[in-house]
Structure 1
Amino acid sequence: MTDATTRPPTAAVNDLSIGVLMLDTHFRRLPGDIGNGRTWRFPVQFRVVRGADPAAIVHGRPEEFLQPFIAAAQDLIACGVRGITTSCGFLALLQKELCAALPVPVATSSLLQAPLIEAMLPAGQQVGILTFAAEALSAQHLAAVGVRPDTPIAGLPPDTLFRSVYGNRGGVSDFAELEREAVAAAQALVHRHPNVGAILCECTNLPPHSAAIAAATGRPVFDIIGFVEWFGHAISPPGFR
């Protein structure tokens, strides 16, 4: 006979597939962004890691926030989520550490898709990475999630509205201007590297513009939203009977 002291713990919320570890940001998140609840076709749960703002993670030392990220993930798992992702592709640096610390699958970064994408491309083509800040995306980030070191990379220029808004430095989320800048950066990537056969968006703020990027470049575009939908599908597969 079980009693209150021997019963296994139960989740606080049921039927949650994915928990999202959020950076500490203050900008508006558009539909299609990982942090907008309207983006998702299944229930997700969010936790903000206080102090982990874009400057600290993109240009700083994300490993200094490992324990707060672990604690936030554990809280999400206690609520019932069965997989963890994050709101910043630069957290690829913590992929192995979070997997080692947590009892559920972890997908820190869209960059994890790169080897799979390259396996699907025609001979002679490569995946190209479109990132928030090319100067900050290092060989260590790529190695942490198995991305080839010679992978072409392009970023948003530092003086763009995109970098200002999503870097938490202010500015109005003007969708048309943000999309123009994202498309221009993608076009520059394929212009410099014509052998890029697919574009992989590192930044979780880029998915609202994935359709426009695909239309402008003629390449398939992979992003965090499609990745997490695939991840969530595996955690809670649909029934067909």
Structure 2
Amino acid sequence: MAGMIARGGRAIYGVPLGILMLEARFPRIPGDMGNAETWPFPVQLCVVEGATPERIVLGDPREWLKPFIRAARRLIDLGVSAITTNCGFLALLQPQLAAALNVPVATSSLMQVPWVNATLPPGRRAGIVTVCAATLTQAHLAAVGAPADTPVMGTEDGAEFFRVLIKAESETMDVALAERDVVEAARALVRRHPDVGAIVLECTNMPPYAAAVAAATGLPVYDIYSMVTWFVAGMRPRVFSSDYSRL
């Protein structure tokens, strides 16, 4: 170790991703973006005080731009290399956050919609399952380059998912009922739009149910987990073996 100089200047090291969290108290089960054990790499979480799911999903996220910028800068100062958020509706802040911060920013699972469309055969397109279709607007889609006519289906009519996350902000959740709500929304999306060839889950609380959605619809399913693992892979490329004698 002689002659090796370690340099500091940050509070934390080895954490590639900072996650801007909404202020909520509902359960965050494994697979939920807000459960740190979901991720195969270290993450740093920061709650944006006052930015509740109800205010972001049912209100206008753009009113919260400054608090999100401040929170993101705190995470960057601590030492994270990139920023994401834990609500797909924050797609509305993608251009502003990307312009305001000096690290890569990926706000929403919805950013995958144009990517997924590029993988599908002619006549097929991505559809979205969201926690609330009534407030997911063309502005949200435009902010991440998704087509304005992308099919959308929400969970508002379900028994548990929307109620726990948005309506009641409950501290308990029936996971089986929540999964059923998400799966039924996906089935309804495919019934109403037979040209849907893949599904993007908007809500960052939906990854625990992605496999069930894929099984129920027979379609590829993309969510915040698939997007963020891709995002971080660019910052941490895999180092392959250089022992070519083993070939």
TM range (shorter): over 0.9
Name the structure 1 match of 2:208: 208
SS in 2 for 1:198: strand
> Deviation at 1:239?
1.0
C-alpha contact (below 8 Å) 1:54/1:168 kept by paired residues? no
Q: Are 1:151 and 2:126 counterparts?
A: no
Name the structure 2 match of 1:41: 40
CA 218–159 in structure 1, closer or farther in 2 if over 3 Å, else same: closer
> Deviation at 1:9?
6.9
> Deviation at 1:159?
5.2
Q: 1:32 is matched by which residue type in structure 2?
A: G
Structure 2 counterparts to residues 1-241 of structure 1, below 5 A = 10-158=9-157, 160-167=159-166, 169-171=168-170, 172-241=172-241
Structure 1 spans left out of the alignment, 5+ residues: 1-7
> Deviation at 1:173?
1.4
Name the structure 1 match of 2:3: none
Q: 2:98 is matched by which residue type in structure 1?
A: C
After TM superposition, where is structure 1 displaced by more than 4 Å over at least 4 residues in a row? none
SS in 1 for 2:118: helix
C-alpha contact (below 8 Å) 1:21/1:85 kept by paired residues? yes
Q: Per-residue CA shift, 1:3-39, capped at 9, x if unaligned?
A: xxxxx97221111111000001011101001000110
SS in 1 for 2:81: coil
Q: 1:153 is matched by which residue type in structure 2?
A: V
Following the alignment from structure 2 to structure 1, what is the Cα–Cα distance between the partners of residues 157 and 165? 11
Following the alignment from structure 2 to structure 1, what is the Cα–Cα distance between the partners of residues 181 and 58? 21
Following the alignment from structure 1 to structure 2, what is the Cα–Cα distance between the partners of residues 98 and 201? 22
Following the alignment from structure 2 to structure 1, what is the Cα–Cα distance between the partners of residues 10 and 227? 25
Structure 2 spans left out of the alignment, 5+ residues: 1-6, 242-247
Count of residue pairs brought into register by the alignment = 234
SS in 2 for 1:127: strand
Q: Per-residue CA shift, 1:67-119, capped at 9, x if unaligned?
A: 11011101111111111000000000000000110000100000011111000
Following the alignment from structure 1 to structure 2, what is the Cα–Cα distance between the partners of residues 156 and 57? 16
CA 168–22 in structure 1, closer or farther in 2 if over 3 Å, else same: farther
Following the alignment from structure 1 to structure 2, what is the Cα–Cα distance between the partners of residues 21 and 239? 29
Q: Which has the larger displacement, 165-174 or 145-154? A: 165-174
Following the alignment from structure 1 to structure 2, what is the Cα–Cα distance between the partners of residues 170 and 124? 40
SS in 2 for 1:183: helix
Following the alignment from structure 2 to structure 1, what is the Cα–Cα distance between the partners of residues 87 and 228? 13
C-alpha contact (below 8 Å) 1:90/1:137 kept by paired residues? yes
Q: Per-residue CA shift, 1:197-237, capped at 9, x if unaligned?
A: 00000000110000000000000000001100110111111
C-alpha contact (below 8 Å) 1:21/1:87 kept by paired residues? yes
Following the alignment from structure 2 to structure 1, what is the Cα–Cα distance between the partners of residues 83 and 95? 13
Q: 2:147 is matched by which residue type in structure 1?
A: R
> RMSD of aligned C-alpha atoms?
1.3
Q: 1:240 is matched by which residue type in structure 2?
A: F
> Deviation at 1:170?
3.9
TM-score after normalising by structure 1: 0.94
Following the alignment from structure 1 to structure 2, what is the Cα–Cα distance between the partners of residues 119 and 218? 19
Q: 2:152 is matched by which residue type in structure 1?
A: I
Q: 1:228 is matched by which residue type in structure 2?
A: V
Following the alignment from structure 2 to structure 1, what is the Cα–Cα distance between the partners of residues 234 and 9? 22
